[in-house]
């Protein structure tokens, strides 16, 4: 072969080699990137070519799929539908042809669309037999009656959130947030219908933020509900060893290194009060001094055992609750009564109540019980998992007796359940809101219910933001405790 032909042959060979390398690069290295590229409309067309699998509560679907219609849906055959969408939105999130997906709809999208790798064998069989590809199901831990009680209770108050947990497993039983939104309103891709509905829900157009999941993503000052954590720290550290041991609590109490007196709400018996009486009457002076006496390191360690300063994944992400890491002595005292920079999600405070109810053991919260293939075969099952042990069983028993006094004889009487064998423990809270507490405070209540056999089927946290209420009428016992009671009652009734 002469020299020019040899050069041409080598050049052509290099071109073929480059083409093969490029082809393999696209097919194997870039395949996932190209498949998930938002500009790749084929992916969206495939996603909505068949009905999605469903999200299941108590054996019943709370989602569905419907045939689309109209010129704007030419290449999307199905769209998502929701049953009681506004009530379940904090659990499901949304799946929209125009705006993507969030929460369970997004996290479990592979199962719901049938594209998960674990469904490969099933999809291969369907392809051979000519069956259409089907999506699997996401079976949740939610309790429909508890969710309804939480949502309807919040609707009467305006803004707020509820989180309820099974203390013995960590299974989430209710997750409600108001105001809410109906994901069905923008499940399609119509500019005139879905686009307008989406735009109206955005924060700039609706300052109430109906799309904010307040149960998982909003952090509030917890107010006096945090005193449960401070009491746990006092018992665990051995600062006090009994609910009925008198504390070293002067009245008035001046914050360390300052001339500022820490005030109580009204004329209540807080001087040298026992931990039981201090929790019953919600004495700021007692728990502020307890926090200062323990110091920031011990208070921080106990708060973090309950889950503070860490994000939670249920599998939906929950914002990290905050107990400050940098504080001086007076700030430590204020943080220990749920003020200063202490801030928490409702889920976190439900975790606090659940750990106390579960004899000191905190279970990891989760809301997906199992994932099912289209034929209902179980692909993945969630097993309860211990997260930490904030209290010994002995100290948890002491704290339970204190919280039960709050409901029986203290500020939490509105949470009492008058059934044989049912005991309720709780703690109220009224948290400052706005600069110098200029806005209506947040009303909190955390609680648990115990049955005659000693088991605890439910722990609850409720926060209410009632901007229209008379300021003097706002209290955790008045606004939040009745909602907690209805949620606990719903769980107890459904277990009968």
Active-site annotation, residues: 224
Exposed, middle or buried: residue 403 (CB in 10 Å: 0-12, 13-18, 19+)? buried
Contact, 337 vs 230, CB < 8 A? yes
- 494: helix, strand or coil: helix
Exposed, middle or buried: residue 290 (CB in 10 Å: 0-12, 13-18, 19+)? buried
Helical axes 284-294 vs 296-305, angle rounded to 10°: 100
Instruction: Write out the two tokens for 345.
Output: 């999600």
Tell me how far apart the alpha carbons of residues 484 and 104 are, in angstroms, rounded to a whole number: 25
Q: What angle do CA 274, 276, 282 make, to 5 degrees?
A: 95
Contact, 433 vs 446, CB < 8 A? no
How many CB atoms are located within 10 Å of the residue 437 CB?
Answer: 12
Please, which residues have CB within 8 angstroms of residue 137's CB and are 6 or more apart in sequence? 53, 54, 55, 56, 61, 111, 112, 371, 372, 374, 376
Length of the chain: 496
In the block, residue with structure tokens 């969030």? 102
Please, which residues have CB within 8 angstroms of residue 64's CB and are 6 or more apart in sequence? 51, 54, 80, 81, 82, 83
Say which DSSP state 472 is in.
G
Question: Using alpha carbons only, how large is the chain's radius of gyration in Å?
Answer: 27
Contact, 219 vs 343, CB < 8 A? yes
Sign of the C-alpha dihedral computed for residues 86, 88, 89 and 93 taken in this order: negative
403: left (phi over 0), alpha (psi -120 to 50) or beta: alpha
SS3 content of the chain, % helix, strand, coil (to 5): 40, 20, 40
Strands (E), 294-441: 312-313, 317-318, 362-363, 368-372, 378-381, 386-388, 423-431
């Amino acid at each position: 072969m002469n020299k020019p032909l040899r050069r041409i042959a080598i050049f052509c060979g290099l071109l073929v080699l480059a083409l093969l390398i490029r082809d393999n690069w696209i097919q194997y290295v870039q395949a996932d990137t190209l498949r998930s590229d938002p500009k790749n409309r084929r992916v969206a067309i495939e996603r909505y070519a068949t009905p999605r699998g469903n999200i299941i509560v108590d054996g019943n679907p709370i989602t569905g799929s419907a045939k689309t219609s109209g010129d704007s849906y030419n290449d999307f055959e199905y769209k998502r539908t929701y049953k009681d969408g506004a009530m379940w939105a904090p659990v499901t999130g949304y799946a929209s042809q125009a705006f993507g997906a969030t929460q369970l709809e997004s996290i479990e999208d592979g199962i719901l669309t049938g594209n998960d790798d674990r469904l490969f064998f099933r999809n291969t069989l369907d392809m051979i037999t000519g069956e259409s590809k089907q999506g699997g199901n996401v079976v949740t831990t939610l309790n429909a009656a508890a969710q309804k009680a939480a949502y309807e209770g919040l609707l009467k108050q305006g803004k707020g959130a509820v989180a309820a947990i099974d203390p013995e497993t960590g299974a989430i039983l209710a997750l409600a947030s108001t105001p809410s939104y109906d994901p069905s309103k923008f499940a399609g891709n119509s500019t005139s219908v879905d686009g307008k509905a989406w735009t109206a829900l955005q924060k700039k157009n609706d300052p109430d933020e109906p799309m904010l999941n307040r149960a998982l993503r909003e952090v509030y000052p917890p107010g006096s509900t945090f005193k449960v954590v401070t009491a746990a720290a006092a018992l665990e550290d051995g600062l006090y060893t009994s609910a009925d041991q008198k504390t070293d609590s002067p009245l008035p109490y001046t914050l360390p290194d300052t001339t500022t007196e820490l005030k109580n709400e009204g004329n209540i018996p807080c001087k040298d009060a026992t931990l039981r009486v201090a929790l019953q009457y919600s004495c700021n002076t007692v728990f502020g001094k307890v926090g200062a006496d323990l110091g920031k390191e011990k208070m921080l360690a106990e708060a973090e055992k309950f889950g503070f300063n860490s994000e939670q994944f249920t599998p939906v992400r929950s914002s990290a609750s905050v107990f400050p890491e940098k504080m001086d002595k007076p700030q430590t005292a204020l943080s220990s009564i749920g003020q200063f920079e202490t801030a928490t999600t409702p889920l976190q405070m439900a975790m606090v109540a659940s750990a106390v109810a579960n004899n000191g053991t905190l279970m990891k919260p989760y809301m997906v019980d199992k994932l099912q293939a289209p034929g209902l075969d179980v692909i993945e099952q969630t097993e309860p998992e211990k997260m930490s042990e904030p209290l010994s069983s002995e100290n948890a028993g002491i704290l339970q007796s204190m919280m039960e006094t709050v409901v029986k004889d203290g500020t939490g009487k509105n949470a009492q359940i008058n059934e044989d064998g049912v005991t309720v423990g709780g703690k109220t809270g009224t948290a400052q809101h706005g600069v110098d507490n200029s806005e209506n405070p947040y009303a909190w209540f955390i609680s648990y219910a115990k049955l005659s056999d000693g088991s605890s089927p439910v722990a609850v946290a409720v926060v209410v933001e009632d901007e229209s209420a008379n300021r003097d009428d706002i209290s955790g016992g008045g606004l939040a405790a009745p909602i907690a009671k209805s949620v606990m009652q719903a769980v107890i009734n459904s277990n009968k």
